[in-house]
């Protein structure tokens, strides 16, 4: 029987206090990894929770915070083997009504944050000769357009473009860079989006939920664990011949 053992790996996951990031963290801990959960919602700069778990306060839009967090983490544990960029936010509005500060905020966290954290960690990996993994949590919104989500879609298209470039440039260093494109995942952010989207479209959140389910061939929306399973595969030796990929986890909703 094949099992995935990450007991010798140090993993940094951004946006890990809830949602997809937390789901990935939970599964990686089960696989034995040392996991640092980084999130702007954590109060302490660095807190050891257990032998295998740490919490980091991290604003992914601030390079100096990222550099400090990475230095602190690697000084306490080992160099980072796996980075999961899961930090992400969204706002809802029709394209012609998107406020400039909402555009800037979503692009800063989703696109700039992925670029900054990846850059800092990739430099550490190359400096220390680590054959690492970078896993970017993009979205099927990085391949399609969805009403009331213009800034979010733009940010996730940017994540996919940057994933491909990093994959090309870091391949010779033994660093594999891939993205996961989740579909509709039941997270606190998705529940808030249904409320906001319902107001914009004159519907109820329940109607939005039913609409979501009707678009998925498998007949249900995803749970964070569905995404975490693919992240675990990408962090493992089983994906050793994959880089620059954008893997759909959408229940068949997106097929390209």
Catalytic residues: 152
Sequence-ordered list of residues with C-beta below 8 angstroms from that of 11, at least 6 positions apart, any chain: 25, 28, 33, 34, 35, 36, 80, 81, 82, 83, 84, 235
Using CB atoms within 10 Å of the CB of residue 228, give its burial: 0 to 12 exposed, 13 to 18 middle, 19+ buried: buried
Element (H, E) at 168: helix 150-170
Q: CA–CA separation, 34 vs 171, rounded Å?
A: 25
Element (H, E) at 38: strand 34-39
Are 118 and 162 a contacting pair, CB within 8 Å?
yes
Q: CA–CA separation, 15 vs 227, rounded Å?
A: 14
DSSP, residue by residue, 214-242: HT-TTSS-B-HHHHHHHHHHHHSGGGTT-
Q: CA–CA separation, 235 vs 135, rounded Å?
A: 8
Using CB atoms within 10 Å of the CB of residue 205, give its burial: 0 to 12 exposed, 13 to 18 middle, 19+ buried: middle
Q: CA–CA separation, 203 vs 206, rounded Å?
A: 8
């Amino acid at each position: 029987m094949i099992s995935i053992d990450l007991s010798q790996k140090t993993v940094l996951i951004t946006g890990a206090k809830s949602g997809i990031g937390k789901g990935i963290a939970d599964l990686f801990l089960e696989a034995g990894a040392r996991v640092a959960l980084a999130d702007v919602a954590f109060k302490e700069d660095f807190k050891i929770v257990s032998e295998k778990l740490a919490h980091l306060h991290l604003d992914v839009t601030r390079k100096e915070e990222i550099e400090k967090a990475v230095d602190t983490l690697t000084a306490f544990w080992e160099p980072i083997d796996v980075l999961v960029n899961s930090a992400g936010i969204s706002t809802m509005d029709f394209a012609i009504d998107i406020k400039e500060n909402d555009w800037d905020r979503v692009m800063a966290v989703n696109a700039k944050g992925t670029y900054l954290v990846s850059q800092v960690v990739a430099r550490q990996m190359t400096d220390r000769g680590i054959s690492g993994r970078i896993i970017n949590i993009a979205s099927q919104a990085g391949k399609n357009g969805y009403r009331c989500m213009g800034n979010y879609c733009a940010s996730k298209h940017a994540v996919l473009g940057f994933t491909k470039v990093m994959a090309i440039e870091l391949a010779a260093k033994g660093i594999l860079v891939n993205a996961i494109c989740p579909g509709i995942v039941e997270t606190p952010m998705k529940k808030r989006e249904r409320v906001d989207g319902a107001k914009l479209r004159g519907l109820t959140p329940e109607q939005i939920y039913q609409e979501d389910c009707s678009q998925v061939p498998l007949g249900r929306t995803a749970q964070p664990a569905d995404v975490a399973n693919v992240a675990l595969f990408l962090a493992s030796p089983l994906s050793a011949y994959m880089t620059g990929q954008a893997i759909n986890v959408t229940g068949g909703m997106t097929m390209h």
